[in-house]
Chains A and B, each alone.
Chain A
Amino acid sequence: MNATGYAMRTDQLTVRYGSFTALSEVSVGLRAGAITGLIGPNGAGKTTLLNALSGFTDVHSGVVYLEEKDVTTLAAHRRARAGVIRGFQTVRLLERESVLDNVLLGAERLHQPSDCSQILGLPAHWKWRTVARSKAADVLELLGLSSDSHRSVDSLPFASRRLVEVARVLISAPPVVLLDEPAAGLDQRGRIELAGALVRVHEQTGLTMAVVEHDIDFVTRLCGSVIAMDSGSHVMTGTPQEVFSDARVQIAYFGRAANAHA
C-alpha cells in the first residue's frame, strides 16, 4: 500500500467525446483493499470513469494513478497485466464457447508458459493448464456456475452470462477489480448472493474493487464507501448511508430530496 491509501485514483480527470464532456475534472480514489460503490443516474459518467481507469478511453486531461504511478497513457492490455481487470456493462463473451473457456480466458494474467511451449504441447503447458483449470473450478463454484461449466454461454440465461463475466474477471485474483453493473438483470435473491460472493472473494484476497450499481440495497450490502457522480462531475464520497441520504444525490437521482430509504 502507498501513502495515500488509494490503490487507484484520478486527479482532475477530464474525458471528452468530441465537444461533449463526459467527465469533468474528476478527482476520486479507490481505497486499497476496500469495495467502493460508484453511483449516479444514467449518463453520469460511471462507465466512462471505469473506461478511463482501465485504459479503454483516451483522457483529455488529468492523471490516472495506479499505486501512485501515473498510468494515464498505459495501454489497456498493459493496465490489465498490471492488475486492473474490468467487466463490461454489456457483457463481452466468446458466445459459442463454453463457460469454462470463457472463464479461463481471464487466466491470461497468470504467469504462462511461452507460446512456443504451448504450441508444441510441452509439459509446462499441461501443468499450467491443470493449475488454471483448478482456479476456474474454484471461481465457478463460488459463483454457482459449476454445473454449467461445459455449456455454451449463448445458451445461458442473461443473469448467468453476467456471472460468467464476473468469473472471468475474478479467476486471476487481480489486485484491482472494476465491475460495471454486475447485478443488472439478477433477481433479488441473485443480487444478495452475488454480493455475498463478492464479499467472500474480497475477504479471501483483500482486493480493491469498484462496483457500478444503481441498487441501493446492493451497494449498502457490499460497499464500505460510495462515490456519487452526476453529469460527469464528482458529487460526493462517503459511506452508503451518508451518500444515499444526501440531498444532492437525491436530487440527481429523483429530481428532489426525499427521506433516506437505504
Chain B
Amino acid sequence: MTTQIRQLPATPSMMSPPPARWPHLSTVVIVGLIAAVPLVFFGDYWMFVAAKILAFGIAAMGLQILYGRAGLMSLAQGAFMGVGAYAGYLVAQSGLGPGIQLLAVIGAASLVALIVGLPTLRLSPLRLAIVTLAFGELFNWLLINSTEWTGGSQGAPVEPLIIFGFDTSYPLDAYLVALAFAVPLTLFALNLGQTHLGRRMMAIRDSEMAAVSVGVFIPKTKIIAFVLSAVFGGIGGWLYSATTGFIAPPDFDLFASVFLLAAVVIGGSRSVAGAWMGTAFIVLLPEGFNLIGQPNLYALAGGLLLATTALLLPDGFSGVFAHIKSLITRMRAQEDRA
C-alpha cells in the first residue's frame, strides 16, 4: 500500500524558503537605524526625538502583540501608557527609585489590564474596542479629577530617572535609558513569535474554532495578550514621561491610542519590525514638516500621507520588506535552476 501522498505543489521548491530569520534581521536593522539617529545628527533635540520614538515604539510593540498577533483591537494603549507613567510618578513622589518604579509600572499595568480585560474579553472584537475606548476616557477623566494626586489637567513635573548614573533629564541619557529597555523588550516580542503561546494568539485571531479544537482555552490566552500589551504600554509611558520630564492627561488620551494604532497598522501589524517602522514614521513625520519650515502642513499633508500609506500598503511597511524578500528568494531559485 502506498502511504506517501505526494500532490505536486503548484509551484515547487522555490516557494519554500528557509524559515524566517529575515524578520529578525530587519528588526535588528530598524532598531539599529533608530539607535543611530542621534549619532548621525548628534544634537540634543534629535536625541530627544529618538528617545520619544523608543518610548512610543515600546508601547506600539505591545499593541502589535494584542492587535497584530491576537487580533484584538484596543483603543486604550495610550491610556495604558498613562497608567505606567502615573504609577511611576506616584511611586517617585514617595521618594522610591527606578527599580521600585518599574515594578509599580508593571504591577499597575497588569492589574488594570486584568480589571478591564477579565469581564470584557469574551466580547466580540468590536465591542472590546468600544470598551477599551470607554476605559481610556474614564482613565483620563480620573486623572483630571484627582488633582491632589496627579496634578490634574495642568499636569506635573516628573523627577528624572537616574539609573547607573544616567540621568534622563539629559536627552542623551534619556535616549540610552530608553534604548536599554527597548532592546530586551524587542527581543521578548520577537521571541513570542517562536513560542506556542504566540501561535495560540494567532489562532484566536484567525480561527477560534481551530484554537478550541486543539484545546486552547481562549479567555486565558486573550488575557495574557492583553496584560502583555498593557505592560509594554506602561513601560513605554513611564519612559516617555521620564524623557519629557512632565506628565499631563492629554499625553495619554484617545489621540495617543489612535496614534499608536496608526503606527502599528502603517508599519504592518504582522511584525515587530512593523511596530518600530510605523512609530518612527509617525513620530518623524511632523518633525520633517518642522524641518522644512512648514509645521502647519502636517495636519493636512501628514494626514493625507498616512491615509495613502494605509491604502497602498495593506501589510504596511514591513509587508513591503517581506515582498521584496520573497522576490529575491524567487529570483535566486530561478537562477539556481538556470
Contact = CB atoms under 8 A, between A and B. Distances in A.
Contact of B211 (A95, A101, A105): A105
B206 A168 contact: no
Contacts, number: 144
Interface residues of A, number: 60
Nearest to B18: A150
Contacts of A197: 3-5
A107 B200 CA distance: 10
Given A88-B209, A115-B224, A147 B200 contact: no
Interface of B: 1-7, 9-10, 12-13, 15-19, 187-188, 191-192, 194-200, 202-203, 205-207, 209-218, 224, 228, 270
Contacts of B9: 147-148, 151, 156-157, 160
A121 B224 contact: no
Nearest to B220: A115
Interface stretch (A40-48, A65-73, A78-86, A227-235): A78-86
Given A107-B196, A150-B16, A196-B1, A80 B206 contact: no
Interface in A173-201: 190, 192-194, 196-197, 199-200
Given A105-B214, A129-B194, A163 B5 contact: yes
Contact of B5 (A76, A143, A157): A143
Q: Which of A105, A119, A168, A196 has the most CB of B within 10 A?
A: A105
Given A105-B211, A105-B214, 18 more contacts: A54-B213, A56-B209, A56-B212, A77-B218, A88-B213, A94-B203, A105-B199, A118-B197, A119-B188, A119-B191, A121-B191, A128-B196, A147-B12, A150-B19, A155-B15, A157-B9, A193-B4, A200-B3
A3 interface: no
A108 interface: yes
B196 A104 contact: yes
7 contacts: A93-B210, A96-B270, A97-B206, A108-B216, A118-B196, A118-B198, A193-B2
Contacts of B217: 77
Contacts of B195: 118-119, 121, 125, 129
A192 to B, nearest CB: 7
Given A92-B213, A101-B202, A147 B13 contact: yes
Contacts of B209: 56, 88, 92
Contact of A86 (B4, B6, B213, B224): B213
